[in-house]
Structure 1
């Protein structure tokens, strides 16, 4: 399920993607809106694109990650109207040696008249990006079996 449309900008610490909210999208409602809580998934997919880009330019395999949660998700809107253009920005603020990282993320919706972005949602996204995802899962399974 890919919800973002385009990577607009990416650098060493940040990324901006865009997406058009569609009425035929997975989370669209009969009233032709998408709930604002889906914004967390937009942010997570933007961060996944950031991670994938950096793996590719460094000749490494794409790393699978886990969305651990979010802190302080705040949205000015209850939903996004279908047809709206969203700009999703994520900036890495912490990357620790234990494969955890935190991104500061925002969603802006373009004003239909001026086409200028209007602030819409913010969050801090917590992720785990293990170097070897399969080894990470196997280690978790072994620990789980030991505790039984």
Structure 2
């Protein structure tokens, strides 16, 4: 049986700020709607005041960052359930990022879905991701991430 965290305005979940390390203008997600051991669904509203937004809205290429932050929220929820502070992870890259829209319009609400395809004991992960706008999938990719056991040591070159 899969443990699921669901949200009814966060029912039982901490605020997104407690799940992802992004802050201020770099945090694009509003809420983690659900998360289990393999999947997560997050919501984001495109605002005119956000970083990268121009007269057309949020550029379509930013969809990859929405995906990465949803993966971070998924990992943060796992850490939270285990009683740990959420760790820091790194976006390594993506395969086949496709976006059907040039921009996500200001005011639009995006649903971001991520599903773990592979999680290695070494911190490497691969996720199938999608962004939906008005119930229609408009962006998709496979995203590779890395979450070292000790991010500070890793950044200082002290971890193999």
Q: Which of 1, 4, 7 is matched with 2:32 structurally?
A: 7
Taking the aligned partners of 2:82 and 2:60, their CA distance within structure 1 comes to: 34
Rounded to whole Å, the distance in 1 between the matches of 2:141 and 2:56 is 24
- In structure 2, the gaps of 5 or more residues are 1-25
Runs of 4+ in 1 over 6 A off after TM superposition: none
CA 1:134–1:57 in structure 2 vs 1: closer, same or farther (change >3 Å)? same
Is residue 105 from structure 1 mapped to residue 129 from structure 2 by the alignment?
A: yes
Q: In structure 1, what is the Cα distance between the partners aligned to 2:97 and 2:53?
A: 20
Offset from partner CA, 1:85-125 (integer Å, 9 cap, x none): 11000001101122100111000001xxxxxx011000111
Larger radius of gyration: 1
| 1:135 Cα deviation after fit | 2.1
**Structure with the larger strand share:** 1
Q: How many residue pairs are counted as aligned between the two chains?
A: 135
Q: Distance in 2 between matches of 1:128 and 1:5?
A: 23
Question: Cα deviations across residues 121-141 of structure 1 (Å, max 9, x unaligned)?
Answer: 001110011111122223x26
C-alpha spacing 1:134/1:122, structure 2 compared with 1 (3 Å): same
SS at match of 2:48: coil
| Aligned position for 2:50 | 25
TM-score, normalized by length of structure 2?
0.80
